[in-house]
Structure 1
Amino acid sequence: MSGNTGTLAPLLPGATLGVLGGGQLGRMFVHAAQSMGYFTAVLDPDADSPAGRVSHHHVHADYDAADGLTRLAALADAVTTEFENVPAPSLEHLAVLRPVSPGAPAVAIAQDRIREKAHFVRCGVECAPYAVIENAHHLAAVADDLLPGILKTARLGYDGKGQQRVATRAELAQAWDASGGVPCVLEQLMPLDFECSVIVARGQDGAMVHLTPQRNLHRNGILAVTEVHADSLPEAVATRAIQAARAIADGLAYVGVLCVEFFVLADGRLVVNEMAPRPHNSGHWSMDACDVSQFELQVRTLAGLPLTAPRQHSPCIMLNLLGDLWFAAGNEAVAPRWAEVLALPGTHLHLYGKTDARRGRKMGHLNVTGPTLEAVRQTADAAAALLGVALPLNA
């Protein structure tokens, strides 16, 4: 379902790699590709997009504009995407002209929670008990034991958007009506211990590697902190998460980088939450704590290069930097205390080139590495205090 047929000859440095989307993930892909000797082309409607400003080529066009897609295909030898909500028909259009990974079928499944959950079930991976609600009949047929639950729109939901907690049938009916009556999934609310994720990279030949599983903390539906070290996850949980993520990727015949997010329940069970057919916020730690980052893996899968298993060389804590940090002192945007943060040992600042700080907007991330977990925690605590980010992870 990857959109590629067979194993293609590798694209070597000097070729041009294209990406749909000019945001921060596209920017970091472009940087990784360029560091390996590739030229890059970005398609994004924003003339001032973060990725477009650092790419060799920037096609200013909407994601569904046939002429823009044709121009991208004329520039690039292969094309990937930085976000899952790119129109699947656009990927189909490009796939006629150039190798595309991930392909339209896989992305289309990730765009729709109903199809996504059906895929998880087919792969034998446990997810929370749920019901599909597409009409009033489905709403009336919801089993009582699914409440309390979380109602999620089937499409266009991310960072907590399109989600409503409901405790009663009346609240469920009100929430579905508030959604506009669009197709939704109702998930049973389960006793959550913590959240984790696994990033896998799968090549055209089916070879697969993965990053060390990550322990994540979300606040208001947005990733806040990621920890990756020997004590971040119980070994049994990490092993099950890797196995599940690999099964999900294999079931899609996936080509590219895939992130699978999980809930770990109070009783130790692991249930899958969702997948993202692209590099992921929770994998940004790999840029400074691994010998191969998630973005290099994206380059390798797109170019058909061999996949080598990433090795983590340092414990790491990643702090997500939202635009709120610029407004800690009031309503006027003021740059955070970068000089003091960067004076701390093992801090690695990544800003995304966004000139307009807004509350809730992802502006960058800070990776903290060190020789020991104790050293990393001390530095992360100090950096968080300077930035106004709440720690520890289990806060």
Structure 2
Amino acid sequence: MTAPAFLPPGSMLGVMGGGQLGRMFVHAAQRLGYSTAVLDPDADSPAGRVSHLHVRTGYLDEGGLAELAEACAAITTEFENVPAAALTRLAARRFVAPGAAAVAIAQDRAQEKAHFARCGVPCAPHAVIASRDQLDAVPDELLPGILKTARLGYDGKGQARVATRAELVQAWEAMQGVPCVLEKLLPLAFECSVVVARGADGAMVHLPVQRNLHRAGILAVTEVGEGVLPAAIAAQAIEGTRAIAQGLGYVGVLCVEFFVLQDGTLVVNEMAPRPHNSGHWSIDGADLSQFDLQVRTLAGLPLVAPRQHSHAVMLNLLGDLWFAGGAERTPPWERVLALPGASLHLYGKPQARPGRKMGHLTLVAESARGARTTALEACAALGIQAF
């Protein structure tokens, strides 16, 4: 269905997926007076536990989709692996943003890279491998590289570094010969990302460019503020992100991640058709968060450019913190909350596990140096590796 001109507060907004991103969307929507509904099979899902309605079914369950469509005026998604077919079914009855076509592209690395090329945004040299013949035809210059499954890989999953043809064959076979993308390993200086919001009317706004540090394929640290990365690179990243969103005819919040090479070249890595871990700082460091923007794009509210009011560092809090020293424990939150400018966000997940995203900590200050200094104190208190 087409986008509504305006959904007033009191309307019910739906979200496919009940994780932490859905939870923060629900909080943002409820703050504006909207009712919320979540479809997620997990009875303990973080978003479902705080929403007005929790539809506890699978993502392709016809009854669950019908219940969600009946209850809601518009529906969004909080993770990219919601089946695109489910979004198509919902869109027959309700406005859905982002749309199934955009989500389907983001779910397939080969289609994603083809879209980047159509938009004129350069990505790493790569080859699509969907057969033994394509495997044998991989150019030598793509090695060493990173082999990634075309679908379902995230947070470092479904990936393998390969230096030789023998390692490439072994890795592809270990991935059961599913379609993959081999990307040339490039000399990386750092990573960055841009969160953009685009309305159904084509209006587009964005958050400041975010500098990111990953560990073991999972985002560990995001820094945002003056001097965190060169202005020319930030401008290029924003331009590329806007082109990618425009090329999709996108509606909603989109995050695009980039690699900055040692020679200063910017190449696009991947996109996420939803709010992103690297944008969480905006809840505490800007006057409009990425979740506020998600609500606005879904409900047809005005898109106003967010203003960053504080320099910020965001630390990802993984379940490993609950097992520091071997025995399960409660991390020393009292030490962290004694730091100036500290905001702790825990996602309400009932069980901590190593590698599981349990929350995030944002440190804000009047300067980038001040935010970083306080963040390093937080790292020391929690036992997080310094950056």
**TM-score normalized with structure 1 length:** 0.97
Shift of 1:377: 2.1
Are positions 1:301 and 2:325 aligned together?
A: no
Shift of 1:12: 1.2
Shift of 1:314: 0.4
Q: Give the aligned partner of residue 388 of structure 1.
A: 383
Q: Give the aligned partner of residue 139 of structure 2.
A: 143
CA RMSD of aligned residues (A): 0.7
Question: Aligned equivalents of 1:358 and 1:286: distance in 2?
Answer: 26
Contact 2:225 2:367 in 1 (8 A): no
The one-letter amino acid of 2:49's match is R
Fraction of identical pairs, as percent: 70
Question: Aligned equivalents of 2:240 and 2:260: distance in 1?
Answer: 13
Q: Give the aligned partner of residue 363 of structure 1.
A: 358
Q: How does 1:228-377 map to 2 (within 5 A)?
A: 228-330=224-326, 332-377=327-372
Ranges in structure 2 where 5+ consecutive residues have no aligned partner:
none
Are positions 1:107 and 2:103 aligned together?
A: yes
CA deviation profile, 1:346-380 (whole Å, cap 9, x unmatched):
00000000110100000000000012223222211
Question: Aligned equivalents of 2:154 and 2:30: distance in 1?
Answer: 29
Q: Give the aligned partner of residue 201 of structure 1.
A: 197
Q: Give the aligned partner of residue 120 of structure 2.
A: 124
Count of aligned residue pairs for this structure pair:
387
Question: Aligned equivalents of 2:371 and 2:228: distance in 1?
Answer: 13
Q: Give the aligned partner of residue 92 of structure 1.
A: 88
Contact 2:228 2:368 in 1 (8 A): no
Question: Aligned equivalents of 1:381 and 1:262: distance in 2?
Answer: 25
Contact 1:44 1:59 in 2 (8 A): yes
Q: Secondary structure at the match of 1:53?
A: helix
Question: Aligned equivalents of 2:316 and 2:344: distance in 1?
Answer: 10
The one-letter amino acid of 1:352's match is Y
Are positions 1:47 and 2:6 aligned together?
A: no
Question: Aligned equivalents of 1:167 and 1:374: distance in 2?
Answer: 38
Q: Secondary structure at the match of 2:95?
A: coil
Q: Give the aligned partner of residue 36 of structure 1.
A: 32
Ranges in structure 1 where 5+ consecutive residues have no aligned partner:
none
The one-letter amino acid of 2:168's match is L
Q: How does 1:156-175 map to 2 (within 5 A)?
A: 156-175=152-171
**TM-score normalized with structure 2 length:** 0.99
Q: Which runs of 4+ in 1 moved over 2 A?
A: 372-375
The one-letter amino acid of 1:21's match is G
Question: Aligned equivalents of 1:233 and 1:57: distance in 2?
Answer: 42
Question: Aligned equivalents of 1:123 and 1:372: distance in 2?
Answer: 35
Question: Aligned equivalents of 1:53 and 1:263: distance in 2?
Answer: 36
Question: Aligned equivalents of 2:8 and 2:386: distance in 1?
Answer: 43
